[in-house]
Amino acid sequence: MKKLLLAAVAALLAPILSTHAGFTTNQSATSVLGQTDFTSSTGNVTASTLDNAVGLVMSLKTGKLFVADSNNNRILRFSAANAYVTGAAAEAVFGQPDFVSGTANRGGNPAANTLWNPTSLYLDAADRLWVSDSNNRRVLRFDNASTKATGAPADGVLGQPDFATNTIPTGPDRTSFKWVLGLTGDSAGRIWVGDDWDRVLRFDAAATKASGAQADGVLGQPDFTSTSKATSRSGMNFPYAVRADAAGRLWVMDVRNQRVLRFDNAAAKANGADADALLGQANFTTGGAGTSASQFLNPNDIHLSADGTLWVSESGNYRVIGFAAAATKPNGASADIVLGQGNFTSNNPATTATGFGNPGQIFTAGTSTMFVADFGNNRILRFGPVFNVNPPTLTTAATATARKGTVTLKGTSTNAIRITYRVGTTGAFKSATGPAANWTIKLTKLAAGKTHRVTIVATSGSGTTTQAIVTVKSL
């Protein structure tokens, strides 16, 4: 009887554990870039092939996809249409003069139009592309990245005093990197950079800084001249990936400690401050690896999707796992979904529509479209539908009547990931119930004999909004 009961509970839980938001455990990719099909993996240097592509990012305004093609020492840009077409060709390339060249620094010294082993990418709201140009020990900034021509030079540099230098520093300081790891930005214009001196540097108002400018803050070390590896609340060991979220949190993939650290209100923290929480470990003093829903094996990248899910790619487990509402999870919590494997205890590499060779940087558009840089198979996998960069639509009645203080408002939307509302002109917005495409709002305790203004807002995955006003007369 006990076994039957456990089996029944497992059957009820299975759909919950296998699906999250718009993704399903071990689902198949929808298209592939860099290869002509899902079973090919050869690296090459053309407009439609890749060689160790580890990084990617998409513009949620233009729909263009940027790929860090590391071994070819270049960034490829795919049009909004070709980003979804298997085997499609890129429309532009940075770091090389053409689509068939792949030599580091174009075979010479570093310059504003060269790259050497680019890894992580970040695109800010002003369409500036930030690139971890790792072996040149610098971060490059390309303004107006969605419209730049092939071979165009970068517009700014951090980590080196100019574009012609890639000096190896003798020790840590405020202006240089030992080896540039991951990078990210936030809505306030800060850029955060993971550095091989086991630290994360913060550059405030980064787009306005001069070449070689000083960092404004540091996490992972108590100051700008210290360098030590640690498995502690304030220490790090190879912080390869960093991501900032809309609430001001900084998430750090602390690779060799096999964990993700979370720093709340990160920009206000003092140098060397403690992390507030972690995933991958039960506490701040352990660093063991594993193959389970709560452990990592050689993690590569992290990404925060619009719904608050933290996605983690792992080269050792050949998978991408997702932690729903990650900011609310306790230390050492289990993931909710896995891609690339059928469960949380398998770790088999594959060159298929469902498997990974080595997953790297992740990017989600909305709640059901994901791109993964599968660098072990020299390709980019896309999961889910084509992402619509257009503003959302919102349809509902302009007027309604409340009886005994209660009324139900209904409506539809397209290209929206959430619907929120507010009664009156002040106070916080609340979430509607049901899916964004067919939502419902129930209002109660409306004062009789009055007319109430209800503001309803549809928000797309790219952050654009559409608003509707409903006038409710309460009888």
In whole angstroms, what is the distance from residue 317 CA to residue 296 CA?
7
pLDDT tens by residue, 152-197: 999 999 999 999 999 999 999 999 999 999 999 999 999 999 999 9
pLDDT tens by residue, 28-77: 999 999 999 999 999 999 999 999 999 999 998 899 999 999 999 999 99
Identify whether the C-beta of residue 174 lies closer than 8 Å to the C-beta of residue 224.
yes
**Beta pairing partners, 373:** 380
Rg (CA), the chain: 24
Return the pLDDT at 463: 74
Q: Which amino acid is at 179?
A: W
pTM of the model: 0.86
CATH class of 393-474: mainly beta
Return the pLDDT at 367: 82
CATH class of 20-383: mainly beta
Long-range contacts of 438-444 (CB under 8 A, 24+ apart): 438/410, 438/412, 439/410, 439/411, 439/412, 439/413, 440/408, 440/409, 440/410, 441/408, 441/409, 441/410, 442/406, 442/407, 442/408, 442/409, 443/402, 443/406, 443/407, 443/408, 443/409, 443/472, 444/405, 444/406
Residue spans of the domains in the chain: they are: 20-383, 393-474
In whole angstroms, what is the distance from residue 150 CA to residue 54 CA?
20
Nearest to 136 by CA among 98, 170, 179, 172: 179
Length of the chain: 475
Question: Is residue 417 very low, low, confident or very high in pLDDT (cuts 50, 70, 90)?
Answer: confident
Name the token pair of 77. Answer: 């840009």
Name the token pair of 102. Answer: 């792949």
